[in-house]
């Protein structure tokens, strides 16, 4: 049984745990404000809020219900557009109406839910943050200017009296005040189905038919019909055990089920990578980042997985476990061929560990895609450099989209070691990188384009990490 709160009422869902939240909302609960568009996470028409009891308060994040399994909302508060306007239009809906931000109205519920997610996020109420919050919502007919004006109105409202609670501004209905009490009661209920009596999401079993699920943003796009029927799904995102980002000495440990948003909000990551927010904003969209996990990105084994490329350059190590025994494996050895992994079917990624950059280390990530937001990379790459005085002590360049697997450019990385950065070195590294890659032409660009792109991105690494280098010389390479 999956128990959760849907808007203002408790629900016990009897459907299979792999059923999509979107289908439960629309076809069982008949809340048709949540729309079905692409069913692939691209349009945002199905956006809902998912609230979780975390560190003594409710934390609400947007999610695409078309990729969210019921098993992942056990003991959560799900809010649809109907749950935001029980007595009439709320100020977000009012702003959309006043600014002419809706025509056919198909996308509007998704925009309203994303706007509510922004109001609850605790982010600074700025225009830029408000616009970024709707990066997962597409409107085909109204034009974005009127939606932006509505967002500006919401920002004004939030800035009027920042200390006043969003409930007092009428953004959320009054029933939200009682949700923490209901949630605590729900969490006290005994249930062994998903978490077990000691809160574990998984028990040890060597069953080779195990099906692990993180956020579902890859699995539900690829095989949603299979997943709906699947009975033995292990919901790694449903519990707390496989999440979290902590510092241990000079290392960082990340739970396999930590999401991109968890990384963005982590003080450890933000301190170690001051530009992480800029990198992460190039990954999917807010509602996808809120549920997409780090381990899901690694196991999906896409040659252009952004987190994979990021962590490869950091020489991250994986802890693979079957629930009883575990083993360590460097991420760079995880990929044996196109979508082939050094992983037994019964093993899951429990955690990821890497050495945090120290005072002598610099790091940079680059991604180029056809669109800036909500698009996968044509080519992506990261570079980590450990300085030794004015020379480079050690370096690692990762690259995606230029071969069958996300990879480390071993020889190009070795070439840098012990050298002083200058334009001659950049030329050599680009030439060596061309020897190591084997891109193919596809919808994301021709082979020649991807080769050129990687060269340009290597220049970008050097120019960003060593700003003293002569830009003109390097751009001539």
Ligand X SMILES: Cc1cc2nc3c(=O)[nH]c(=O)nc-3n(C[C@H](O)[C@H](O)[C@H](O)COP(=O)(O)OP(=O)(O)OC[C@H]3O[C@@H](n4cnc5c(N)ncnc54)[C@H](O)[C@@H]3O)c2cc1C
Which of ligand FES, ligand X, none is residue 44 near (CB under 5 to 8 Å by kind)? ligand FES
Q: Which does 301 bind (CB under 5 to 8 A by kind): ligand FES, ligand X, none?
A: none
3-state DSSP call for residue 233?
Answer: strand
* Binding partner selected for residue 292 from ligand FES, ligand X, none, CB under the kind-specific 5 to 8 Å limit: ligand X
Does residue 71 belong to the site contacting ligand X (CB under 6 A)?
A: no
Q: Cα angle vertex 382, ends 377, 384, to 5°?
A: 175
- Position among 32, 103, 417, 464 found at the interface with ligand FES (CB under 6 A): 103
Binding-site member from 266, 297, 381, 398 for ligand X (CB under 6 A)? 297
Which residues in 330-359 contact ligand X (CB under 6 A)?
348-349
- Please identify which residue in 300, 317, 413, 432 interacts with ligand X, judged by CB under 6 A: 300
Scan residues 1-40 and list those touching ligand FES (CB under 6 A). Answer: 36-39
| Beta strand 245-248 pairing with 251-255 | antiparallel
What mask, x for binding ligand X by CB under 6 A, covers residues 246 to 265? Answer: ----------xx--------
> Taking CB under 6 A as the rule, does residue 219 contact ligand X?
yes
Backbone angles phi, psi at 46, to 5 degrees: -100, 15
Which of 432, 457, 297, 435 lies closest to 364 in space, CA to CA? 457
From 63, 66, 316, 465, residue interacting with ligand FES (rule: CB under 6 A): 66
Query: Which does residue 134 bind out of ligand X, ligand FES, none, counting CB within 5 to 8 angstroms by kind?
Result: none
Q: Which is nearer to ligand FES, 103 or 191 (CB)?
A: 103
In the bound state with ligand X, the residue whose beta carbon lies nearer, of 211 and 427, is 211
State how far the Cα of 241 lies from the Cα of 228, in Å rounded to an integer. Answer: 24
Cα–Cα dist 16/148, whole Å: 40
Total residues belonging to the chain: 477
- Residue 297, contacted partner among ligand X, ligand FES, none, CB below 5-8 A by kind: ligand X
| Class of residue 232 by CB neighbours under 10 A (exposed 0-12, middle 13-18, buried 19+) | exposed
Count CB neighbours of 468 within 10 A. 7
How many residues of this chain interact with ligand X, rule: CB under 6 A? 31
Interface with ligand X, residue 413, by CB under 6 A: no
* C-beta of residue 5 within 8 angstroms of C-beta of residue 74: no
Which value, in Å, is the radius of gyration of the alpha carbons in the chain?
23
Span from 2-10, 86-94, 115-123, 207-215 in contact with ligand X (CB under 6 A):
207-215
Smallest CA-to-CA distance from 293 within 237, 340, 347, 350 is with 237
Q: Give the Cα separation of 244 and 34 in Å (integer).
A: 30
17 binds ligand X (CB under 6 A): no
Check binding of 140 to ligand FES (CB under 6 A). yes
Report what 142 binds from ligand FES, ligand X, none; CB cut-off 5-8 Å by kind. Answer: ligand FES
28 secondary structure, DSSP code: I
Nearer to ligand X, 110 or 305 (CB): 305
Q: Which stretch binds ligand X (CB under 6 A): 97-105, 186-194, 280-288, 445-453?
A: 280-288
Q: Find the part of the chain contacting ligand FES (CB under 6 A) among 140-148, 304-312, 343-351, 378-386.
A: 140-148
Q: For residues 150 and 397, which CB has a smaller minimum distance to ligand FES in the complex?
A: 150
Question: Interface with ligand X includes 117 (CB under 6 A)?
Answer: no
Asked whether 401 and 379 are in contact (CB, 8 A), the reply is: yes
Inter-residue contact 68 to 87 (CB < 8 Å) = no
Q: Is 239 in the site for ligand X (CB under 6 A)?
A: no
d(Cα 472, Cα 465) in Å, to the nearest integer? 16
- In angstroms, the Cα distances linking 317 to 173, 312, 471 are 46, 9, 35
Q: Is 366 in the site for ligand X (CB under 6 A)?
A: no
Pairwise CA distance, residues 258 & 236, whole Å: 10
Which residue from 13, 43, 258, 352 is in contact with ligand FES, where contact means CB under 6 A? 43
Q: Does 121 bind ligand X (CB under 6 A)?
A: no
**236 touches ligand X (CB under 6 A):** yes
Q: Phi-psi category of 462—alpha, beta or left, where left has phi over 0 and alpha has psi -120 to 50?
A: alpha
Nearer to ligand X, 252 or 374 (CB): 374
**C-alpha span between 331 and 326 (Å, rounded):** 15
In the complex, minimum distance from the CB of residue 470 to ligand X, in angstroms, rounded to a whole number: 33
Please, which residues have CB within 8 angstroms of residue 142's CB and are 6 or more apart in sequence? 100, 101, 102, 103, 107
Helix%, strand%, coil% for the chain, nearest 5? 35, 20, 40
Q: Which of 1, 86, 141, 164 binds ligand FES (CB under 6 A)?
A: 141
Q: Give the residues lining the site for ligand FES (CB under 6 A).
A: 36-39, 41-46, 64, 66, 102-108, 139-142
- Positions in the binding site for ligand X (CB under 6 A): 40-42, 212-219, 221, 236, 256-257, 283-284, 288, 292-293, 295-297, 299-300, 305-306, 348-349, 374, 376
């Amino acid at each position: 049984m999956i128990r959760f709160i849907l808007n203002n009422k408790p629900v016990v869902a009897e459907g299979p745990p792999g059923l999509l939240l979107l289908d439960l909302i629309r076809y069982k609960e008949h809340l048709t404000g949540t729309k079905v568009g692409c069913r692939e996470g691209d349009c945002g028409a199905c956006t809902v809020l998912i609230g979780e009891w975390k560190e003594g308060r409710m934390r609400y994040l947007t999610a695409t219900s078309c990729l969210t399994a019921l098993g992942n909302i056990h003991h959560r508060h799900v809010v649809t557009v109907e749950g935001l306007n029980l007595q009439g239009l709320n100020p977000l809906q009012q702003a959309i109406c006043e600014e002419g931000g809706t025509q056919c109205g198909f996308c509007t519920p998704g925009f309203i839910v994303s706007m509510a997610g922004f109001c609850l996020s605790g982010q600074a109420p700025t225009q830029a943050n408000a616009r970024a919050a709707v990066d997962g919502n597409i409107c085909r007919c109204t034009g974005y200017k009127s939606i932006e004006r509505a967002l500006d109105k919401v920002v004004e409202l939030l800035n009027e009296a920042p200390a006043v609670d969003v409930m007092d501004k009428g953004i959320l209905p009054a029933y939200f005040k009682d949700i923490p009490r209901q949630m605590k009661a729900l969490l006290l209920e005994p249930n062994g189905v998903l978490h077990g009596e000691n809160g574990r999401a998984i028990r040890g079993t060597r069953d080779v038919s195990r099906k692990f699920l993180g956020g579902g943003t890859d699995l539900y796009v690829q095989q949603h019909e299979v997943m709906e029927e699947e009975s033995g799904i292990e919901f790694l995102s449903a519990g707390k055990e496989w999440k979290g980002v902590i510092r241990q000495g000079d290392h960082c440990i990340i739970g396999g089920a930590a999401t991109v948003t968890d990384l963005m909000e982590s003080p450890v990551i933000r301190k170690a990578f001051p530009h992480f927010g800029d990198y992460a904003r190039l990954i999917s969209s807010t509602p996808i980042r809120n549920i997409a996990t780090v381990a899901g990105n690694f196991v999906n084994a896409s040659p252009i997985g952004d987190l994979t490329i990021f962590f490869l350059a950091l020489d991250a190590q994986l802890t693979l476990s079957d629930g009883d025994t575990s083993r360590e494996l460097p991420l760079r050895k995880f990929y044996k061929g196109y979508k082939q992994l050094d992983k037994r079917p019964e093993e899951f990624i429990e955690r990821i560990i890497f050495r945090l950059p120290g005072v002598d280390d610099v790091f940079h990530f680059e991604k180029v895609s056809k669109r800036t937001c909500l698009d996968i990379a044509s080519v992506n790459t990261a570079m980590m450099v450990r300085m030794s005085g004015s020379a480079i002590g050690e370096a690692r360049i990762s690259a995606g989209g230029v071969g069958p697997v996300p990879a480390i450019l071993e020889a190009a990385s070795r070439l840098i070691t012990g050298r002083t950065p200058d334009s001659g070195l950049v030329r050599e590294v680009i030439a060596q990188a061309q020897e190591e890659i084997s891109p193919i032409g596809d919808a994301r660009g021709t082979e020649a384009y991807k080769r050129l792109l990687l060269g340009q991105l290597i220049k970008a690494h050097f120019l960003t990490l060593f700003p003293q280098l002569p830009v003109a010389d390097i751009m001539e390479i």
